[in-house]
Amino acid sequence: MDNGDLGPNLAEPTPHSVAAVPARLVRRLGVGDAVVIGLGSMLGAGVFAAFAPAAEAAGARLLLGLAVAAVVAYCNATSSARLAALYPQSGGTYVYGRERLGDFWGYLAGWGFVVGKTASCAAMALTVGYYVAPGLARPIAVAAVAAVTALNCFGVHKSALATRIIVGVVLAVLVAVVVAGWAEGHPQAAHLTPLTGHGIYGVLQAAGFLFFAFAGYARIATLGEEVRDPARTIPRAIPLALGITLVVYAALAVTVLAVLGAGGAAATSAPLVAVVQATPWGWLAPVVRAGAAVAALGSLLALVLGVSRTTFAMARDRHLPGLLDVVHPRYGVPHRAELAVGVVVIAVVLVADVRGAIGFSSVVVLAYYAIANASALTIDGSSKLIPVLGLVGCVAVAVCLPLASTVAGFAVLAVGALVWAVRRGRSLR
């Protein structure tokens, strides 16, 4: 993205100036830290699992599904970056929707983000458990949530350092998978029957599954009050993180199709493990499994970080209980919001199903980004093409996900709208 496009928008008058927002959180994160936090979210457990359902949906058109997901993600990232330059505050699209479209749309975006990403947190925690010890998946998931919550409560800078280490480990594992797939050739692919998929519907559904793995760049925007020089840092960090992730995913997608074929990828729940097992590098399988657990932990770390900041922003505006609007005097983090999110995620972990949580989260988060794109459409002097493509893409991909996920996602959004209407009615009495 050309950062020059953001220049004319920085001076635009806004209904609520940034100066009017209390300076509560400490600005510690630079471009590198913000990029790493985004990578920690996007290079999470999704990349180890998303190719299987995506291949089942799109068949040999898997790469087309990845391209659609990347285009939608790029549009969303560009819209988010433009808005973040105007509103460098914690809360992401919750703030953007409120400022550009009105209180209702900001609230609905915040509601969708908190609910949808809470489900994502549970899915990531369970993934850690299933990769470490399937028989003890839930207890391990609970322990992972508790550990991540405690780490975040001791300061976002420490969380960024931990995420940097995790991202390094995960990237090393993913590079090893690509090397294994191509170093010894890919003899099995020719013997597997390719799937034809379900046309454009299948491509869009595959894009929905793959989008789940892309969606972490929102975590950068939600840290607006903890980033140094956010008007410059956030617009730089978002496309950088997205670009690196796209290169990694494209390399993995080509490798998976070359080694396993679309049919082979769809037939396994762990396609990256299957890739190394199909080569003389089969000894790497335990390493890949360990990498998946580490990736899920890194994604969980960044997810809890982002959800707690949106919770904090909504509590500050009294859309959530005001007792969550507190910053720790020593560590400079919203510790009550962190603890509340951790408790809710643990509760979901005890009852949730991983696949269902992922599908539900994708639908709600796509609605969240639809609001971001609609908000970006209202910025004077900026191109309308990208937010229009992003808005249409979000809606199209969301409605093509499995029916149960789509219905559940929109039902939760409707509940959120009803809660807002009831509270609004009471406040007007």
The shares of helix, strand and coil residues in the chain, as percent rounded to the nearest 5, are 80, 0, 20
Structure confidence at residue 368 (pLDDT): 92
Structure confidence at residue 9 (pLDDT): 34
Q: Are 167 and 40 in contact (CB under 8 A)?
A: yes
Lowest mean pLDDT among 63-72, 80-89, 174-183: 80-89
Bridge partners of 227? 29
Helix (H, G, I), strand (E, B) or coil at 90: strand
Kindly report, residue by residue over 5-39, the tens digit of the pLDDT. 333 332 333 344 434 444 455 666 777 777 777 77
Sign of the Cα torsion 18, 314, 359, 127 reads: positive
Q: Find where tokens 């919550």 sit.
A: 149
* The Cα angle at residue 196 between residues 194 and 199, in degrees rounded to 5: 155
Helix (H, G, I), strand (E, B) or coil at 278: coil
Structure confidence at residue 160 (pLDDT): 61
Bridge partners of 29? 227
Strand residues in 207-334 grouped as ranges (E): none
Helix (H, G, I), strand (E, B) or coil at 385: helix
Structure confidence at residue 82 (pLDDT): 85
Structure confidence at residue 378 (pLDDT): 94
| Helical ranges in 317-378 per DSSP H | 335-349, 354-376
Q: Are 301 and 148 in contact (CB under 8 A)?
A: yes
The matching CATH number, chosen from 3.40.30.10, 1.10.1760.20, 3.40.50.1360, 1.20.1740.10, for 28-427 is: 1.20.1740.10
Kindly report, residue by residue over 85-144, the tens digit of the pLDDT. 788 776 678 889 999 999 999 999 988 888 888 888 888 888 888 878 778 889 999 999
Lowest mean pLDDT among 99-108, 273-282, 313-322, 373-382: 313-322
Structure confidence at residue 226 (pLDDT): 67
Strand residues in 197-319 grouped as ranges (E): none
Write out the DSSP string of 190-220: GGSPPP-TTHHHHHHHHHHHHHHHHGGGHHH
Structure confidence at residue 400 (pLDDT): 92
Q: Could you tell me the residue ranges of all domains in the chain?
A: 28-427
Kindly report, residue by residue over 150-191, the tens digit of the pLDDT. 887 776 555 566 667 777 888 899 999 999 888 765 545 544
Name the phi and psi angles at 209, rounded to 5.
-65, -45
Bridge partners of 90? 223
What is the pTM (predicted TM-score) of this model? 0.76
Taking the alpha carbons at both ends of the chain, their separation in whole angstroms is: 47
